[in-house]
Structures are given as structure tokens and as C-alpha cells.
Amino acid sequence: MAVQWPLVVHGVVTLLVVVSFLCGRWPIFRGTFVEKIHYLITYGAYDYFLRFVVAVFGSRGRNCFVAVENYCCERPNPILQIFYLVILGVTYFIIGKSSFRYIPGFYVSEFHWYIGMLAVGVGVLLFLLTSFSDPGTVTAENVSKYVSAYPYDDIIYMEKECSTCKILKPARSKHCGICNRCVARFDHHCGWMNNCIGEKNTRYFMAFLLWHFLICLYGAFVLGLILAGQLKEHKIIYVLTAYYGIDHSFSSLSPHVVQWLLGSYNTQILLIMFLAIISLLLAGFFGYHAHLCLTNTTTNETFKWQDYVSWKRKLNEAKASAAALKAGIQTINEEAKAPESKWRAFFCRSPLQNDDVIVKNNLYDQGIISNICEIIFPLSERKSLFHRKST
């Protein structure tokens, strides 16, 4: 049982950290320790760490740390790319060293050797495609192509010039401060790829997320089959029931089976937990971006719409307050007149009551099928192909 507790504590702490990081700002967790952990992870830990650096190393140490942080977070660099390759390589190495000797097994054929290598190879290929492909860089030579591909909606996108590139800024584009370029249909800058995610590489990015989610599920599933095969080959259920007199029921057998697995195959169980947690993270991230793709919205546009709705709501509230103030002044000026019917005053709508509904009119949402086709076959590429055919 001594082996179980570190694994249980590790799993609970990891799950708590993941849930707090992803869901800490949800209304259901407001005022709870989950929200506090979320704040600690996202803001508090950084602030405390800076105070610690200043206390130990002084202001010079703080400046050195800020310079390193600026390089890692505000400039293009391959640190997270290398980190991804290290995680992938180390995980595959540990799985191979600890579990490949059980293949072929009772439930796992030797075919999974080749499937595993192929799956990792495809994952690396998608990583390279996303990292080194052009996201849709806007230049003076191709700006007209992007302007014709994406019309201005005059709500969150209006015709104007990029103050940095000094060229016309197409709708749905954004100047990336890290890459120092304008990117068409800009979604976000991905540090893991050391590249922007834009019009031309969103398809590779989505394929990368989906494929790695499937790899993690596949790895956890095969490791589970290996453990099930070991239970079968060692006849653990038979030994527990025939020699130890344990009742042949799930509730009676499961604690002893888990104890045997933790004592004999703790590496595989840790790997299954790791892959399951990573698959949950990837599933959430892929689901979020899949929703954006199906509605033809980008992460950048999500924040723009939030700002627009907030501004519109404040504007409506200001108009309602002005109308209420005007009505109040008129009431004071008309005090000498006969009093209005109480029933009429009761049913009269207050000027502060604002029935205007703020509608998010997404000009670029053309339906699920068209939106998916736009991700797979970007508009600028389709127009350029058509132009080449016509010429």
C-alpha cells in the first residue's frame, strides 16, 4: 500500500491543478479554492517569484530574469519547440523501455510497434508543417489579394493602414508584435510552434491538435491492454479467488488487483495517467478551436467581439441614463400639471429599461460546410488558383 499513496496524491494534485488552470474563472468556482489556485497559477506565483528574486538577488537579478522572460515570451525563439520534441522523445523512450517487451502480448499484437512509430512520425510531421509553413503573411505585393478575400464588416474591422508595416490592413488580419508582421485571418501566436496561426496554417494546427489527442488516447488504451494482458498471463484473478479465497466480485477483487498493478507496473500506470491528462487538455483546446472554426471566428476576433459588446452595452446604458435624466427634468418642470393616472404610471416603461439586444453579426460565418472548406482551402489560395487559371 505504500506505493499507492504517492501515485494517488500525484493524480489528485495534477487533476486539481489542471481543473483550476482551465476552469478557475467559471462562475461555479467563484469564491472557492479552485479560483484561488487559478489566480496563484496565472498571476500570484509570478508576482511572488519576482519578489523572491528581488529579495535574494536584488534588482539586478530581477532585471536579468525580466530580460530572459522577454526573450522567451516576446521574441521568436525555439525554446518551446525544443521542449515539445524533448517531451515527445522522452515519453516515447519511457514507453518503449518499460512496455515494448510485453508486445506481442495476450491482447496486443506486434503490429502496434509499427502503429506507434507511424503515429509519432505523423505527429512530428504535422508539428513541422505548422511551425514552418507560412501563416498568411501580408505584404505590399499580396495585400490586394487578402483585401478582396475578406471584406470589411465596419464593426470590428474597418479600412485602415497598419502603423508598423505601412500597408493597407486587410480585414481579419493583425500585426503580430512577436513575429513583426501582419498575418491574414490571424488567430493567435503559438509559442509551441514559434509561429503565428493564421489563414494558411490553421488546418495544420487543427490536425496537430486532433492527432496528438488521438495519440494520447491510443497510447493510454494500448498500455491498458498490456496491463490487462499481464493480469491474464499471470492468472491474478484465479490466484486471488482460488488461493486467497477472495470473492469473485468487482468490489472485492479491484483493491487487490490495483495493489498488484501499482506494485508491479507503476511506470505504466503513471504513463496512463499522464497521457489521460494530456488528452483532456488537448481535447479542451481542440474543442475550443473547432467551435471557432465552425463559426468562422478566430481567437483574436473573440476578444474584439467582447470589447465591442462591452462598449455597445455601456453606450446603451449611457443613452438610457440620459433619457431618464431628461424625463426627470421634464417631470419637475410639469409639476403644476394635473397628476397622471396611477395605472398609467404603473405600466409606463422606465427610461432606464433598455430593450435593445446587442447582436453579434458575424459577416464571415457562411455556414458550417463553407466554414470548414475555408479552413481546408483558404480563400486567398482559391482566388490565386482561379487567377492563375484565368490567365
Write down the catalytic residue from 23, 162, 179, 190.
Answer: 190
What is the layout of strands, in order, in the sheet containing 174-176? 137-138, 181-183, 174-176
Residue matched to cell numbers 509559442: 191
How do strand 160-161 and strand 168-169 relate by DSSP bridges? Answer: antiparallel
3-class state of residue 247 by DSSP: coil
Q: Supply the angle between the helices 4-23 and 250-264 in degrees, to the nearest 10.
A: 100
The one-letter code for the residue type at 311 is: W
Q: For residue 173, give the DSSP letter.
A: -
What distance lies between CA 189 and its chain's CA centroid?
A: 12
User: What separation in angstroms does the CA of 28 have from each of 24, 31, 285?
Assistant: 9, 9, 20
Q: For residue 340, give the DSSP letter.
A: P
Contact, 223 vs 268, CB < 8 A?
yes
Contact, 276 vs 216, CB < 8 A?
yes
Contact, 383 vs 148, CB < 8 A?
yes
Neighbouring CB atoms inside 10 A of 195's CB total: 24
Query: Is 190 annotated as catalytic?
Result: yes
Whole-number Å distance between alpha carbons of 122 and 389: 33
Find, among 121, 127, 122, the residue nearest to 80 by Cα: 127
| Catalytic site positions | 190
